[in-house]
Structure formats: C-alpha cells, structure tokens
Structure 1
Amino acid sequence: MAKRAAIVGGGVIGGGWAARFLLMGWDVRLYDTGPDARRRVEHMLENARAAMPGLWDVALPEEGRLSFHDELAEAVKGADWIQESLPERLDLKREVFARIQAVCDESAVIGSSTSGFRPSDLAEGAARPGQIVVAHPFNPVYLLPLVEIVAPPETGEARLELIRRRMREIGCQPLFLRREIDAHIADRLLEAVWREALWLVSDGVADTAEIDDAIRYGFGLRWAQMGLFETYRIAGGEAGMRQFLTQFGPALKWPWSKLTDVPELTDELVETIASQSDAQSGRHSIADLERIRDANLVAILRGLKTRDWGAGRLLNAGDRRMAQGPKSLEAMALTGPLPTGARAVPLDWTDYNGHMTEHRYLQAFGDATDRFLRLIGVDEDYLAGGQSFFTAETHIRHLGEARAGARLTIDTQLLMAEGRKAQVFHRMWEDARLVATAEHMLVHVDLESRRAAAPGAKVQDCLAKIAKAHAHLPRPEGAGAAVGRKPDRGAKDKAEG
C-alpha cells in the first residue's frame, strides 16, 4: 500500500513537494482552494517528470496517485506526512494546524515549509506541539535535496527518527538544527548575500547581471560541491583552516560589509532592480527559465554523482536503496532475456533534436553489460584478482526516439559463450516499444598481461548455465546485422515462427 502525503497549499513550494512525493511513489492529496491551483501543480509536475527521474541511474517507483480536494479534512485524514506551504502568516498557519490536528492521525508528521518561523511559534496553542516541525525545503523542491528540520523538544526521538527515514525515502537530505532560530540556517546565509547585493545595486557598484556573474562564475561553483568552510580550508594552504583564519581573520573587522543595514526599497530602487533584471533575463519567459534551471541543476548534480561527492553521494545512496529486481543470478528465471537496466532519460542526455544522443545509448548499454557481468561473478573481488572482460566489438541500432524523462528498460540475451569470448544482445524498451538494440562481443582478459585468457571457473559455470537456457530462445531480430543492412525477412519470419 502506497504511503500518503497531504499537501496544504499548491504554490511553487507546495507543488514542488507534491511532485517529489508523487515521483517517489507516494499518493498525494492536495488541498488548495485557489482557482488555478490544479493548473499550477500540473505545470510543476510536468517539469518534475522531465527532470527528476534523470537524477538517478535506476528506475524510480511507480508514480503515486494525485487527487485535489476542496476540504482540508478530506485531504489530511489518514495521511502519513502532512506538509503545509501557506503564505508566511503566523495566524493563518496556527489556524490551519488546529484544523489539521482535529482530524489527522496522531502518528502523522506535520511539516511546515516556513522559511522563518520557529516551531515553538507555529505550535503555540496546538493540541500536540511535538507533532508540528519545520521542514523547510529549497526551490525547486523536486530537485534540490536539502530540507532543514527544526523540531520542538516535545517531538521525541522516535518521531525524529521517523522524519529522518521519511525524508531519505523521498531522496532528501534532512538537516536537523541543534536549536530553534529565526530563518534557520540557509536563509540566514542567503539573506546576508542578498543584502549585500542590494547595496551594490543601490550604490551603483554593479547591476543585477554583473552580481549574478560574480556568483555563477566564481564562488557559486565552489559552494556547489564543497560549501563554505571546506572551501576556505583549502584557501589556507597546507596549514588549513588555522592558517586561513590567521591570515584573513583581521579583514572581518574592516568596513567591507554593510552588515545588518538594509537599503531602503524606494520606488526608484525597485524600478532600477526590476529594469536591470528585465534587461538581464527578460528575453526568457519564467517557464523557459524554469526549464533552463532544471536542466542545469540536473547536469551539476549528475556531475557530482560521478565524483560521489556532496549531493551526488546522496543520489548514489538513493540508487542503491531503490535498485529493483533480483540481486543475483540464482534469484533470476533464465527462461528469457535477463533484466539488466531500468532508468529514466536525464535532461542532460538529450541533444539538439530533443532526444537521447548517440553516445548515451552506448552508456546505457554499457551499464547493462556491467550489470550482466556482475550477475556472472565479475565483481570488485574478481577485478581485484586481475581478471575482467573487455568489449571487442559493438553494434547499436537506433530504432526509435527516447526523450527526456522516458522510462527505459533493458534486457539481455546471451548469444554465445565459448572459451574466452562471450556475445551478448541487449534490447532497450520504452514500455512495449523497442527503442534500440546493441550487440557486444566480449573478450576475457588477464589484466596484468592485457591479453586474452580463460575466465575463472565460477564465471565459466555461470555463462554455461545462461547459454544453455538461452539456447532455446529465438535469435533476436538484428543480431549479426551489419551497418546499413536490414535483417533477412526469411530469417525474421523463422525466428518469430
């Protein structure tokens, strides 16, 4: 039975929460009485479907069911997680929490997306104060994993552990604050940068585009993968943080910063900032900017995945947690091709034609080959022992388009296993549509001599077992085909007959 989330408020943040829960397999009930709530949430979900599945290299769970509700009680009753994302009005939030607690399960978590209020303020007068916590996300919620968790003392360790587990189940990184503080952690840091940026525009030092360039071409890139303190640790050289603080600490007392002073947002300053922003980005619609932002974030996050660093490490852990299907050859039925891949097409895998580019087909099929090799025993220990398979020849047929967000599966048939050679045939599917095939000739090698050598006994036994079972399967269409040559019609009819 799917877990159930109730989303109270369907704006940018609430819609993002709905998308993340849905795409992680939760059923979502959304409460928002606004006339265009459905349109806004469905727009958010469309963006998320194109971007979010591509963060992982395994298939996400089957998408949950989304329903819209005009009655708050109907939406929250029976929900496992209730997320409030209403405007920053303390009276409104308290009134809604009272209505929620009157009907929700006591075991449910009630999270608030507030960017500034403390949980003790939110839960003042509540029937169960420990049930209400701050769960502050970052936009877009369906891509950025950080959620700041601030809980009152009444919450209890059991509920804190439940919050930790639930957040990780949907691919988020919960950051538990040590104590309550207005605006939590991240927004306080952002506020300091935002304040300085406003002064720079107000004083005529820089315009909005120049300030954004200073961030995206400079320290913003460092922060994306190492944050603040680790970046400055490196800046201290071999002596690390102590040297950095000794060398640059005195500068903190210099009058570089406006500190807590804020420029008055006069009509003139507002118009200056707005007109500069129009000149900087006005050629793009907000919808275009959302898609550009999402594609860039996916590329950055996937780059961090390859390094297993920062948010990329979180995504790799999610891959391992969500990996579906049999984990070993013994658990598989060998009566048909073996399942060796299930994933969505990431945004950064598409080309100028809007579909998956050629080298990504090879990557997907290469990953399927790696999966097949692990199933027959070519794992880390086998490689450490100095043996492996090399790909000697590859032939890929592109039979259909695969666009961003498409859910692909790959199955693998062993065509031949003789001595030092193995021949595998992969088929890539989107539902029942055959998208591409790949045929690989593999040669077993000794890694020290880099020459062909016989596989180990266990690997040979696994290959023989699969080869015996797959010998009864029809030869797949396209096997053995040369570039530009269509398969023989008679051979195809014989295979299908």
Structure 2
Amino acid sequence: MARVAAILGGGVIGGGWAARFLLMGWDVRVFDPAPTAQESLSAMLERARAALPALYDVALPGEGRLSFHPTISEAVAGAEWIQESVPERLELKRKLYSQVQAVCDANAVIGSSTSGFTPSELQGCATRPGQIVVTHPFNPVYLLPLVELVGSGKTDPVLLDKAEDVLRSVGMFPLRVRAEIPAHIADRFLEAVWREALWLVKDGVATTEEIDDAIRMGFGLRWGQMGLFETYRVAGGPAGMRHFIEQFGPTLTWPWTRLMDVPELTEELIDRIADQSDAQSGHLSIAELETLRDGNLIGMMRSLKARRAAVGAVLAAHEATITPEAPDLMVPMQTLDRLVPTDWVDYNNHMNEARYLTAISEACDRFLLWVGVTPDYIASGGSWFTVENHIRHLGEVRIGARIRAVTQVLDAAGKRLRLFHSLYCGDDLVATGEQMLLHVSLETRRAAPPPPEMADLIARIAAAHEAFGQPEGAGAAIGAR
C-alpha cells in the first residue's frame, strides 16, 4: 500500500512538495481552497515530471495517486506526513495546526515550510507541540534536495529521526539545524546578500543584471559545488583556511559591507529594481524562466552526480536505493528504464546519436552487475571491456521520453560475450545495439578467462536465450544498398 502525504497549501512550495512525494510513489492529498489551486498544481506537476526523473539513470517508483480535498480533516486523516505551506502568518499556522491535530494520527510528522518562524513559535498553542517541526525546503522543491530540519526542546529526537528517514527516502537532504534561530541557516545567508544587493542598486553601483552576473559567472559556481568554507580553504592555498583568515581577516574591519543597514524600500527604489529586472529578463515569461532554470539545474546536478560531489553525492546515494534488483536472467530481460535528460538532446531536438550508445552501455553495465561484475569484483582485478559495437538507429527519441532496453545474450564462450540490446520508446523499437565484450585482467590489461562461477552463469544464460531465436538485425553490418 502506498504511503500517504497530506499537503496543506498547494502554491509554489506546497506544489513542489506534492510533486516530490507523488513522483516518489506516495499518494498525495492536497488541501487548498484557492479556486486556481488544481490548475496551478497541474502545471507544476508537468514541469516536475519532465525534470525530476531526468536526474536519475534508473526509473523512479510508480507515480502515486493525487487527490484534492475540500477539508483539512479529509486531507490529513491517516496521513504519515503532513506538510504545511500556508502564508507566513503565525496566527494562521497555529490555527491550522489546531485543526490538524484534532484529526491526524498522533505519530504523523507535521512539517512546516516556514522560512523564518522557529519550532517553538509554531508550537505555541499546539495540543502536541513536539509533533510540529520545521522542514524548510528550497524552490523548486521537486529538484533541490536541501531541507532544513529543526526541532525544539519539546521535540522527541525519535520523531526527528523519522522525519530524516522519510526525507531521505524521497531523495532529499535533511540538514539538521542544531538550535532554533529565526530564518534557520540558509535564509540568513540569502538575507545578507539581498541586503547588500539592495544597497548596490540604490546607490547606483550596479544594476540587477550586473549583480546577478557577479554571482552566476563567479562565486555562485564555486558555492554550488564547494560551499563557502571549502571555497575559502582552497583560496588559502597549500596552507589552507588558517592562511586565508590571516590574509583576509583584517578586511572584516574595512567598510566592505553595509550588512546591518537596510535601505528604505521607497517607491523610487522599488521602481528602479522592477524596471531593471524587466529589462534583464522581461522578454521571458515566468513559465519559460522556470523551464530554463530546471534544465540548467538538471545539467549541473547530473554533472555533480557523475563525480559524486556535493548535491551529486545525495543523488547517487538515493539512486542506489531505487535501482532494480536482478530479474529472471534466463529470459531476455529489461536492463534499462529511464527518462531522456536535457543534456542528451542535439540541435535537431532529439536524442543525440552518441546517447544511443550511452543508453546501450548503461544496459550492458546493468547486465554485467547482475552476473557478478560488482565494484568489489572490479577492485579484485577483473572486468569486461567492449571491443566492438554496432548500433542501428530506427526511430527518433525526444527529450523527456521514457526509454527502456531489453538485453539478450547471443553468445558466451570463454573470454567472449556477445550481447544484443533492443531499445524501446513506449512500444516502438527505436534502436538496436550489438556488443562484443572480452573479459580482461585489470592487472595485465589483457584478455583473461572470467572466474568459473561467472563463466558458468553466463553460459547458462546464453543457452536459455537460444530458445528465443536470433533477434532481427543481429549480425548486421553497414552495407551499400
């Protein structure tokens, strides 16, 4: 039975939570009395369906069931996770918690998306104060994994552990905040940068676009993969952080910032900021900017995943929890099931020809894993190398399409292994790939027999697959017509 999450407030943040849970297989119940709630959430779900699965090289769990409910009690009854994302008004939040706790499961987690309130403030009038915690995410919630998880002195650590487990299970990164503080951790940094940026615009030092360029062309890229302190540690050279502080510490007393000063948001300053922002990106709709943002995030996050760095390490770890187990190997088996990410598409707006080989290579790797080519086996000095490939391109595949591969063993004799992969998009056969592999000793970098148990398993698979005949296209070569 699917797990159930209740989402109270289906706006930008609440809708992002709904998409995250839904695409990770949870049933999601939404309460939002706004007349446009369903329409807005539907549009966000379409973006999320095109974005979140593209981060992964395996298929996500089957999508859960989405339902909208006219009352809070209907939405939260029996829910394991309750996420509140209503406007930042303390009285409104407390009133909502009173209604929720009257009907919800006493063991459910009630998380608040609040940007600034502390758990103690939220728990003020609660029947069960320890049940309410801060779970502050970042937009878009369906892509960015960070969640600031904050409890109070009334929060049972067991509930925080449970919340952390749930968040990790849906691919998020819970950052447990050690102490209650207004705006938690990340928003305090954002507020500091925002204040300084307002002064720079007000004083005519920089435009909104120039400030954004300073971030996205420079330190923003460093922060995205190293954070603040690690970036400065590197800046200190071989002597590290201590040298950096010795060198730049004195500048803290220099007038480099107006951090504690806040410019008055006069109509003149607001107009200046709005006009500059319109000139910067007003030619794009918000939906177009969101699509651009998501595509850029996917590309950066996938790059970091390949290196197991920063957010990429979170993605890789979560992907390992949803990677399929080995199926029946004695029949042609599905070895790939995934979406086509944005960085696989070429100037013709379909899957680049090199990515067909990537997909087939991923299918091959999955098969090899199932027959024993594990990281430990590779570390022991054995592996399989591809020595020949033949790919037939039979149909177009577009960005966001779901593809799957079925793999058949054509031959296995000694050091040699011949595989045939059929690549499908829906029910359409869009490509085939035939591979010849040799087992190799990583010590000598030369062909060597696989261990007897692996050789025996592959031989049995090949014998069983003979019953399915030679697939069309096997043994084909390029020839003149």
CA contact (8 A) 1:51 1:404 kept: no
Question: What does 1:410-421 align with in structure 2 at a 5 Å threshold?
Answer: 410-421=405-416
Quote the Cα distance in structure 2 between the aligned partners of 1:11 and 1:57: 29
Deviations 1:343-371 (A, max 9, x none): 22222222333332222221111111112
Letter in 2 for 1:341: L
Letter in 2 for 1:281: S
Give 2:363's aligned residue: 368
User: Shift of the alpha carbon at 1:429?
Assistant: 2.5
Aligned match of 1:424 in 399, 419, 425? 419
Give 2:389's aligned residue: 394
Give 1:116's aligned residue: 116
Give 1:5's aligned residue: 5
Quote the Cα distance in structure 2 between the aligned partners of 1:30 and 1:455: 54
CA distance change for structure 1 residues 306 and 334 in 2, over 3 Å: closer, same or farther? closer
Letter in 2 for 1:461: D
Letter in 2 for 1:82: I
Letter in 2 for 1:194: W
User: Shift of the alpha carbon at 1:319?
Assistant: 1.2
Letter in 1 for 2:256: W
User: Shift of the alpha carbon at 1:448?
Assistant: 4.4
Give 2:260's aligned residue: 260
Quote the Cα distance in structure 2 between the aligned partners of 1:159 and 1:180: 16
Deviates more, 1:251-260 or 1:339-348: 339-348
CA distance change for structure 1 residues 381 and 135 in 2, over 3 Å: closer, same or farther? closer
CA contact (8 A) 1:50 1:347 kept: no
Letter in 1 for 2:200: L
Partner SS state of residue 467, structure 2: coil
Give 1:71's aligned residue: 71
Letter in 1 for 2:239: A
Question: What does 1:131-280 align with in structure 2 at a 5 Å threshold?
Answer: 131-280=131-280
User: Shift of the alpha carbon at 1:230?
Assistant: 0.7
Partner SS state of residue 233, structure 2: helix
| 2:450 paired with 1:455 | yes
CA contact (8 A) 1:78 1:104 kept: yes
Letter in 1 for 2:439: H
Letter in 2 for 1:262: V
When the two chains are superposed, the root-mean-square deviation of aligned CA atoms in Å is 1.6
Question: Could you list the runs of 5+ residues in structure 1 that have no partner in the other structure?
Answer: 327-331, 487-497
User: Shift of the alpha carbon at 1:56?
Assistant: 1.4
Question: Could you list the runs of 5+ residues in structure 2 that have no partner in the other structure?
Answer: none
Letter in 2 for 1:104: C
Aligned match of 2:344 in 343, 349, 354? 349
User: Shift of the alpha carbon at 1:484?
Assistant: 6.6
Quote the Cα distance in structure 2 between the aligned partners of 1:452 and 1:20: 46
Quote the Cα distance in structure 2 between the aligned partners of 1:109 and 1:448: 52
Give 2:295's aligned residue: 295
Letter in 2 for 1:379: T
CA contact (8 A) 1:334 1:470 kept: no
Deviates more, 1:448-457 or 1:96-105: 448-457
CA contact (8 A) 1:58 1:322 kept: yes
User: Shift of the alpha carbon at 1:43?
Assistant: 0.7
Partner SS state of residue 115, structure 1: coil
Partner SS state of residue 126, structure 1: coil
Deviates more, 1:344-353 or 1:24-33: 344-353
Quote the Cα distance in structure 2 between the aligned partners of 1:165 and 1:132: 16
Quote the Cα distance in structure 2 between the aligned partners of 1:478 and 1:485: 16
The TM-score normalised by the length of structure 1 is 0.93
CA contact (8 A) 2:330 2:461 kept: no
Quote the Cα distance in structure 2 between the aligned partners of 1:99 and 1:355: 50
User: Shift of the alpha carbon at 1:420?
Assistant: 2.8
Deviations 1:249-271 (A, max 9, x none): 11011111102111111111111
User: Shift of the alpha carbon at 1:385?
Assistant: 4.3
CA contact (8 A) 1:58 1:342 kept: yes
Deviates more, 1:106-115 or 1:236-245: 236-245
Deviations 1:390-414 (A, max 9, x none): 2122112223333333333222101
Partner SS state of residue 105, structure 1: coil
User: Shift of the alpha carbon at 1:189?
Assistant: 0.3
Deviates more, 1:358-367 or 1:194-203: 358-367
User: Shift of the alpha carbon at 1:435?
Assistant: 2.8
Question: What does 1:46-61 align with in structure 2 at a 5 Å threshold?
Answer: 46-61=46-61
Quote the Cα distance in structure 1 between the aligned partners of 2:372 and 2:121: 57
User: Shift of the alpha carbon at 1:50?
Assistant: 0.4
Quote the Cα distance in structure 2 between the aligned partners of 1:315 and 1:127: 37
Quote the Cα distance in structure 1 between the aligned partners of 2:22 and 2:374: 34
Quote the Cα distance in structure 1 between the aligned partners of 2:370 and 2:266: 66
Partner SS state of residue 264, structure 2: coil
Quote the Cα distance in structure 1 between the aligned partners of 2:57 and 2:106: 36
Quote the Cα distance in structure 2 between the aligned partners of 1:267 and 1:232: 38
CA distance change for structure 1 residues 418 and 150 in 2, over 3 Å: closer, same or farther? same
Quote the Cα distance in structure 1 between the aligned partners of 2:344 and 2:21: 24
| 2:313 paired with 1:313 | yes
User: Shift of the alpha carbon at 1:485?
Assistant: 7.8
Deviations 1:319-363 (A, max 9, x none): 11111232xxxxx42442123222222222223333322222211
Quote the Cα distance in structure 2 between the aligned partners of 1:201 and 1:209: 10
Aligned match of 1:441 in 432, 436, 440? 436
Give 1:407's aligned residue: 402
Letter in 2 for 1:172: M
CA distance change for structure 1 residues 105 and 387 in 2, over 3 Å: closer, same or farther? closer
Give 1:495's aligned residue: none
Partner SS state of residue 473, structure 2: coil
Partner SS state of residue 219, structure 1: helix
User: Shift of the alpha carbon at 1:388?
Assistant: 2.8
Give 2:103's aligned residue: 103
User: Shift of the alpha carbon at 1:452?
Assistant: 3.4
Quote the Cα distance in structure 1 between the aligned partners of 2:278 and 2:137: 27
Deviates more, 1:372-381 or 1:120-129: 372-381
Partner SS state of residue 35, structure 1: coil
User: Shift of the alpha carbon at 1:436?
Assistant: 2.1
Give 1:89's aligned residue: 89
Give 1:339's aligned residue: 334
The TM-score normalised by the length of structure 2 is 0.96
User: Shift of the alpha carbon at 1:384?
Assistant: 3.6
Partner SS state of residue 130, structure 2: helix
Letter in 2 for 1:277: S
Letter in 2 for 1:216: R
Deviations 1:63-82 (A, max 9, x none): 00101112111111111111
